[in-house]
Amino acid sequence: MRQTILAVALLATVAMTGGLLAHEGHHHDALGTVATIDGAQMTLAVSEEEVLIFVLTDETSYLRGDKAVTRDHLAAGERAVVKYQKKDGANVVIEIRLAPNAEALKPE
């Protein structure tokens, strides 16, 4: 029982420090729900307690499934995988991958 409690505590600690492990010079991925889009900034809810802030640039690419789309396709409430890099303390987005359209998933 004691080992189980320690294992759960260790897993919780590792899960909560994921954002702290992101460091400059490497690409990182975040999975969550787009919370807000405001100018060049986007927030992504990765859990009920954690929201990450990202910077969108002219170099940011947007995909829906494997198809290239534009920033206009990005909407609050949508699930997304964000590939980003830490630059000068900010999370700068390289790529945002959105789920394929629900219509495209329906069998004909």
Mean pLDDT of all residues in 2-15: 48
Cβ distance 55 to 70 under 8 Å?
A: no
The CATH number linked to 93 is 2.40.50.320
Other C-beta atoms within 10 Å of 71: how many? 13
Tens digit of each residue's pLDDT (9 = 90 or more) over 32-88:
999 999 999 999 999 999 999 999 999 999 999 989 999 999 999 999 999 999 999
Grouping H, G, I as helix, E, B as strand and the rest as coil, residue 105 is helix
Count of structural domains within the chain: 1
Question: Quick one: pLDDT at residue 106?
Answer: 45
Provide the pLDDT confidence category of residue 8 given band limits of 50, 70 and 90.
Answer: very low
Token look-up 């807000």 returns: 36
- pTM, entire model: 0.71
Range(s) of the domain holding residue 23: 2-105
Provide the phi-psi class of 77: left if phi over 0, else alpha when psi is between -120 and 50, else beta: left
